[in-house]
Chains A and B, each alone.
Chain A
């Protein structure tokens, strides 16, 4: 069975969405972090489907997240790339995949993560966005140099 067919099967298992985003090939076990990045906790009545640790030819085990009625912004995709570097984003319109693309690691993420260093100038009331350079194994604040290598969701600024 090909990975594509596998994904299709699993997508069918949790039902198609009409309009929204299917995030496929999320690293196994990271689906809940993806939801955290998107600021989704179910409290607003969003229609969400999650498949976790399903077989994948490409990455072994993967998670799938389907979000009805929401298309991801580029900023959200940027941050997603940090925890789900193999993810593919399918934008669905009227039950069809209108756009499909893999996330790409940007060289920097701007205005997305807040710096965990309370003494960083970006935590002050200054007219600058946070800016993190993306490294091979994490991100680094461009201003104070602080490294973040895990728990990215704890530092998300995106609403």
Chain B
């Protein structure tokens, strides 16, 4: 893949995805590869992040490169009122590519219009998270397959950026997507529009039970407390959209359960030691996949 910027999963073709995943497989293990010793990656995280940020740091260091980090928003010039457009133009002078996490939707798209170095969207509000999608697809390919796939995606589908990106990317493959959520957290119209435009096979549900036996992959996301004004309402919904070990009796023996993490209560820890659990492997895959992506961009 050769794109100047990585902004949404919608820009990925099947060929783009397969190229990155194939290359990631080469990086999955000790490589001793230092092909990007002169590369500096600028990390601009306007929101807290653990996995995404650390996996990007690890990825560039395993390629021989280094990072510069603007640090927390509280300690940056953002507190002085500097615009995002100015921030990225300044850091562009220091780094060969920018990794941007920002609470506003469209932030990476806007940033890309102000700089010449590649901008990688590491999450923009409730918008997109395309590099998470690449590692999700890598994990799915390792555990199941990307074609003839029946995938359930459950939880906060409205605000879940990982869901939006994954759903769009899956339209490149022969998949049936079952979306399971409370009505208040169903897919936003713009994501549904893209899926319909792409001719995707999509079904929406409010209950997992009827579709669970058909699934090859169940992708679970966290329902966020702050989306509910009432704590009791949150608890009622959150407990309904989780999975426990007993429910797996109804599932295929080779069902893979995934989660972008962090999880709270939505996956019973008793599942961790079963062959169904793919979420820690999924987090691990962030490094080789991001190595592959950076290698193609730098």
Contact = CB atoms under 8 A, between A and B. Distances in A.
B160 interface: no
A119 B103 contact: yes
B280 interface: no
A155 to B, nearest CB: 15
Given A140-B190, A147-B190, A122 B106 contact: yes
A6 interface: no
Which one of B106, B109, B113 has the highest number of Cβ atoms from chain A below 10 Å of its Cβ?
B106
Nearest to B105: A144
A147 B105 contact: no
Interface in B98-132: 102-107, 109-110, 113, 124-127
B84 A126 contact: yes
B228 interface: no
Contacts of A126: 83-85, 110
Contacts of A147: 189-190, 193
A118 to B, nearest CB: 10
Interface string B28-43: 0000000000000000
B105 A119 contact: yes
Contacts of B113: 128
A111 interface: no
A119 B126 contact: yes
The dominant DSSP class at the B interface is mixed
Contact count band on B: 20 to 34
A123 B104 CA distance: 9
Contacts of A4: none
B189 A143 contact: no
Interface string A111-149: 000000101111111111000000000001111111100
B162 to A, nearest CB: 15
Contacts of A145: 105-106, 127, 190-191
Contacts of A122: 106, 110
Contact of A120 (B83, B85, B105, B191): B105
A143 B190 contact: no
Interface in A54-88: none
A127 B83 contact: yes
Contact of A119 (B84, B104, B189): B104
A140 B197 CA distance: 14
25 contacts: A119-B103, A119-B104, A119-B105, A119-B126, A121-B105, A121-B110, A122-B106, A122-B110, A124-B83, A124-B104, A126-B83, A126-B85, A128-B85, A128-B110, A140-B190, A141-B106, A142-B109, A143-B106, A144-B105, A144-B106, A144-B127, A145-B105, A145-B127, A147-B189, A147-B190
Interface of A: 117, 119-128, 140-147
**What 3 pairs between A and B have smallest CB-CB spacing?**
A143-B106, A144-B105, A144-B106
Interface of B: 83-85, 102-107, 109-110, 113, 124-127, 189-191, 193
Given A121-B84, A121-B107, 11 more contacts: A119-B105, A121-B109, A128-B85, A128-B110, A140-B193, A142-B109, A143-B109, A144-B127, A145-B105, A145-B190, A147-B189
